[in-house]
Amino acid sequence: MGSDVFNFPAQLLNVLRSASRVTVLTGAGISAESGVPTFRDAQTGLWAKYKPEDLATPEAFQRNPRLVWDWYAWRREQLGGVAPNAGHLALAEMEQRLPGFTLVTQNVDGLHQRAGNRRVVELHGNITRTKCFDERCLVESWEETGEVPPHCPSCGGNLRPDVVWFGEALPPEAFAQALSASRACELFLSIGTSSLVYPAAALPHEALEHRAVVVEINPNTTPLSLQASYCFRGPSGQILPALLKEAWSDSPSL
C-alpha cells in the first residue's frame, strides 16, 4: 500500500518538517505487525484463560509468583522470534532527521531499541530486565536452581520482571521526561495505543493543552480520537513509512 493511499494534509507535513520538538507515544499496536500480540488481544494457548490485567499486578505475583513469572518467561520467549517492523524503523529514521525528537513507549518489548532508536523513554519498564521484588534493584544474573521464580542472589527474595504493573508507580524520571516532552512539542504522535492506561494516556492531552498538533495512528478509534487534530485509520507499519516518504522524498522507499 503506497503513500498515495493515505492523504497527508500539507499542514501536517509542514509541521513535521519544521517542528523543533516532536514527541511520539507508542503502545502495543506498533509491535502488532511484528507478530507481538497487543496487550488486549485475546491471549492464546496456555494463557487464553487469563486476562493480562489480572496477571500484570503485584497482588497476582504475590498470590502466585510461579504463574506470573512463567507468563513473562513465555512472552520473553515469544520476543526471541520477532523483529522490529517498518513502523519501528520509520521512528528510528524520524529520530535521525529531527533533533528535538522524543520517543516515549508503553511497550516493554525493547523493539524500538532494536530498530535503532537511541533515546527511548520506557514508561512501563522492559521485559528483558529482571529485578528483585523486595529490594527493587536490577539483577543481571542469578543461580538457576530450578526454582521458579528464581531468587535474588543478595537477599533471597523472588525475582520479577522489571516492568510496571497495574497499581505500581511509573519510574518518576521517565514520566517526568515524557510529561515535559509532551508539553514542549509542536507535534505529538499517538501510535498503536488504546489510550486507556493512565498516566500514559494523559500525555496527548497535555500536548493538546499546550497547543500541539496531535495525530492518532490506529486502525480503531480510541478515547483520544475525537480530540486528535488528525486520525489515520490503518496499521502503523504502513502509515509511518508513507508519512516519512511524503515529508522527506528522499526517505527509503516503502
- H-assigned helices in the chain: 10-18, 52-55, 58-63, 65-80, 86-97, 111-115, 172-184, 203-209, 236-247
Q: Does residue 204 contact residue 27 with C-beta atoms inside 8 Å?
A: no
C-alpha cell at 61: 505475583
Q: Which of 88, 112, 124, 205 is labelled catalytic? A: 124
Is residue 204 a contact point for ligand BV8 (CB under 6 A)?
no
- Return all residues near 213 (Cβ < 8 A) that are at least 6 apart: 11, 12, 15, 186, 187, 188, 229, 230
Q: Which is nearer to ligand BV8, 50 or 100 (CB)?
A: 50
Among the listed residues 115, 163, 185, 215, the single contact to ligand BV8 using CB under 6 A: 163
Is residue 124 a contact point for ligand BV8 (CB under 6 A)?
yes
Phi, psi (rounded to 5 degrees) for 67: -60, -45
C-alpha cell at 240: 509511518
Measured CA to CA, the distance from residue 160 to residue 136 in angstroms comes to 9
Is residue 130 a contact point for ligand BV8 (CB under 6 A)?
no
C-alpha cell at 70: 512463567
Is residue 167 a contact point for ligand BV8 (CB under 6 A)?
yes
Coil, helix or strand at residue 34 = helix
Measured CA to CA, the distance from residue 114 to residue 57 in angstroms comes to 27
C-alpha cell at 7: 492523504
CB of 183 to ligand BV8, least distance (A): 19
Coil, helix or strand at residue 206 = helix
Q: Which is nearer to ligand BV8, 33 or 93 (CB)?
A: 33
Is residue 31 a contact point for ligand BV8 (CB under 6 A)?
no
Binding mask 52-91 for ligand BV8 (x = CB under 6 A): ----x-----------------------------------
Is residue 192 a contact point for ligand BV8 (CB under 6 A)?
yes
CB of 139 to ligand BV8, least distance (A): 18
CB neighbourhood size of 244 (10 A): 23
Measured CA to CA, the distance from residue 190 to residue 241 in angstroms comes to 15
Beta bridge partners of 122: 105
Is residue 173 a contact point for ligand BV8 (CB under 6 A)?
no
CB of 99 to ligand BV8, least distance (A): 26
Is residue 133 a contact point for ligand BV8 (CB under 6 A)?
no
Among the listed residues 10, 42, 48, 169, the single contact to ligand BV8 using CB under 6 A: 169
Is residue 176 a contact point for ligand BV8 (CB under 6 A)?
no
Is residue 175 a contact point for ligand BV8 (CB under 6 A)?
no
Q: What letter would DSSP give residue 110?
A: -
Is residue 149 a contact point for ligand BV8 (CB under 6 A)?
no
Binding span for ligand BV8 by CB under 6 A among 1-9, 146-154, 177-185, 231-239:
231-239
124 is known as an active-site residue: yes
Binding site for ligand BV8 (CB under 6 A): 27-30, 32-33, 38-40, 56, 106-108, 124, 163-169, 192-194, 196-198, 217-220, 222, 235-237
Residues with catalytic annotation? 124
